[in-house]
Structure formats: C-alpha cells, structure tokens
Amino acid sequence: MSKKTGTILIVDDEPNIRRVLEAVLAKEGHTVLTAENGRRALEQLQSNARIDVLITDLIMPDINGIELLAEAKKIDPNTSVLMITAHGTIKSAVEAMKLGALDYLCKPFDLDDVKTLVRNALDRRELNEQGRSVPAAAQKVAAPGRRSKADVLVGSSPAMLEVFKMIDRVKDSRATVLIRGESGTGKEGVARALHYNSIRADKPFVAVACVALSEQLLQSELFGHEKGSFTGAVSQKKGRFELANHGTLFLDEIGDIPMTVQMMLLRVLQEREFERVGGTETIKVDVRLVTATNQNLEKLVEEGKFREDLYYRLQVITIDMPPLRERLEDIPALVEHFISIYAPENDKRVEYASPETMEILLRYKWPGNVRELENVIERAVVLADSDARLITPDLLPKDILNAVSVRA
C-alpha cells in the first residue's frame, strides 16, 4: 500500500526538534517546511497555497501554539494541527484539542508515534475536505461483506477517539485483540477497522459468530474436517483458520465456546498449526486473531467455564467499546450517517432529524446501542413521506417516545 504524503509545517523554537522532525518526515516522503517561531510560521501559512499538517510547539515567545492554531484555522479550516508539548503543559494541549487541534505530541516523543499521528492528520484533512466529520480510523471499515451499517465506526466523543487511537496503535501487530462491549456497540466494526487499516488489508477478513454454533459444528467451522470424519461430512472442508490465512479471523462472542474448542484454539495460538477434524495432516497458518465478548471473562475463568491460559492469550490487547448512552454526543453524527445510507436505498429525500426529534434521541438510554439507533433511523426513513426532508418525532417508535416522556 502506498503511503499518503503531504506538506508539513513544523514550528518550534528548539532547532534540534525541528531538525529531527524534518528528517523523519522527509524520509517518509512528505514536503517539510520549518519555522523557528509563531510569527514566521504565520507568514508561511499565509504565503503557501496549502499546508496539510501544522505541527507546532505549544509554548513560544511571540505567537503561542493556541494562537497559531486559531490563525491557521482561519486561513484554511481543513489544516490538521498537532501540538508539541511537555508533560507540564499536557492540560493546555488537551484544551487545544477542544479548540480544533487533532492531537498532541508529548516531549520526548517517539518517532513512530510522530509518523502515525501525521498519517492520521492527513487522513483527517482528506475527510474534512470531503465534508465528513468521522475520524479517519472509521472510514475503511466500510468494506465488502460487513454485516451491518452499525459496524461502521462513527464518532468524535472522547471515548471513541480513544478507540480510534488504540486501533491505530495496534492495527499492524500480530498480537491478539479482545474487544469488550455490550451487544450492538460495534465490536465487529472495531475488528474490521483493525483489519482494513492494517498491512493485512488485502488479505481475507473472516468472521464467525460462536454463539450460534454447536460444539461439533464450531470445531468444523474453525478447523475444517475430512470426508467421513462424522455423520454428514460428505466431503473435505476447509475451516475458517485456513480461509483466513495471512489475514484476520474474528471470533464474536468468544465467551460461548465450549472447553474442548477452547483447548484447540489455545494450541493454534501457541503453535500456529492444527489438524482438520478427522485428519492427520498438520496445517500451519499465519492468522491475526481478534475476538469479542459481551460477557465478563474473568468471572467465567473463576467459575471454571473459561480457560485461564486462553484468556491471557486472547487479551494481549484489550479494546473497550463504550455503550451509546456514554457517548451521546456522537448521536447526531450517527443519525446523519444512517440517513445518508437509508434515504437513497429507499428513494427518499430525508436529510436531517428535526431539533425535536434529536432532543428525544439524545434523552433516550439506548439499551440496544448503535444497532438499535440504526434500526430506528431506518424505520423512520421508510415511514417518511416521499417528499419529506426531516425525520419528525411521529416517525419514532412509541416505546422510545413513551420512555422519554416518562423521564421528562
């Protein structure tokens, strides 16, 4: 996959920092400009046709980073801004993010982190130019074969930004990832984001819902079987591990798999090899395993229902998906996202939710999380008049209207 490159302006009164950042980013193929203070940086912003990413020190003698951020956004609102800060000024850097900065680099910074943040900043610039308000890590989830539109990650709440950051940090690792969260929060969306933003993106993404399968069928689905290995095995079948070779295997509701399958899964994780059910040939695979659960695995371990050694193998990296009730500020963006999908599908002209409707949506507790919201918006779009532009409260389910009315 080709690297995305852009024009980067580095602003810092320490020559060493400018030189290091310039060398690292130039090696990545970026066009790099530097400025020793805020005033010189402002001149560069005004004289250059396009600055994709501004990396600026927070504390500078003339124009500080916050002031430079404001001026940069006036010149080009789509410029992505990264703040350089020391540990003692992190609080100020967070304030800068509230004012429009994308992220911050804490001194002394890791150069790999710098590269990652610049890539994210370029992605954000591209999204801003396209008129989207969705963090970059969400976009490539919209890949062939996704189960639901709710599997697309949308949001800019602090909780979701943490999810996006974690996805970006671990996407290229071979480490197993355990995604925790209630049903409907978008756990499969995280798995797809990990895969389609990674170096395995052009390889298979294979998903298995463990809760729906019996022990024998789950063994066959994961590891395959040989002809005649059990009643109904009329031909050889490759398992999901084989089908996902060099790609990603996503096991949803991992807490529901029986002990015998847990033991087989542990061996694959340890040895990266297995045999098909009823077979003797050892098959080696290179698969990145991502799992998800809405259960308390620690409690299952204590109760003897889940192997402790497998648990620790699975949760090398843990990503927690927040329930929708804890990220209500993401609802407007999610509503807009689902309308943009379901209005064209149903040949409707709906564009927005009315302010009254949005107030109701923001007051509801969403026990079914993002998937419930998706269903509500799809229903509203389908029921809307052919020439309607707004989703009005009368298009919402009665149970939501009643629940909000009771709490009012």
pLDDT tens for 50-87 read: 899 999 998 888 888 889 998 998 898 888 899 888 75
pLDDT of residue 136: 38
Which whole-number Å values give the CA distances from 99 to 12, 26, 74, 80, 292, in the listed order?
20, 28, 12, 12, 35
Going by DSSP bridges, is the β-strand pair 205-209/248-252 parallel, antiparallel, or unpaired? parallel
> Which of 320, 346, 378 is a domain's end point?
320
Domain residue limits at 328:
324-407
Give the number of other Cβ atoms within 10 Å of residue 116's Cβ. 17
- How far is residue 90's CA from residue 110's CA, in Å, rounded to a whole number? 16
Question: Which of 176, 171, 165, 178 is CA-nearest to residue 194?
Answer: 171
Amino acid letter, 361:
L
* 102 and 202 together in one domain: no
Estimate the share of the chain in helix, then strand, then coil, as percent rounded to the nearest 5. Answer: 50, 15, 35
pLDDT over threshold 80, residue 103:
no
Question: Which of 373, 322, 317, 292 is CA-nearest to residue 157?
Answer: 322
* 178 and 243 together in one domain: yes
Structural contact between residues 389 and 351, judged by C-beta atoms closer than 8 angstroms: yes
141 is a domain residue: no
Give the number of other Cβ atoms within 10 Å of residue 17's Cβ. 20
* 165 and 220 together in one domain: yes
Q: Which helix (H) or strand (E) holds 307?
A: none
Instruction: Give pTM, 2 decimals.
Output: 0.63
Share of the chain above pLDDT 90, in %: 51
Q: What DSSP character marks residue 210?
A: G
116 is a domain residue: yes
Tell me, what CATH number does 68's domain have?
Answer: 3.40.50.2300
Structural contact between residues 158 and 210, judged by C-beta atoms closer than 8 angstroms: no
* 278 and 357 together in one domain: no
Going by DSSP bridges, is the β-strand pair 288-293/177-180 parallel, antiparallel, or unpaired? parallel
* 250 and 374 together in one domain: no
* 65 and 21 together in one domain: yes
Question: 239-277: per-residue pLDDT in tens?
Answer: 899 999 999 999 999 999 999 999 999 999 888 888 888
137 is a domain residue: no
69 is a domain residue: yes
Structural contact between residues 11 and 41, judged by C-beta atoms closer than 8 angstroms: yes
Number of domains into which the chain is organized? 3
Give the number of other Cβ atoms within 10 Å of residue 44's Cβ. 15
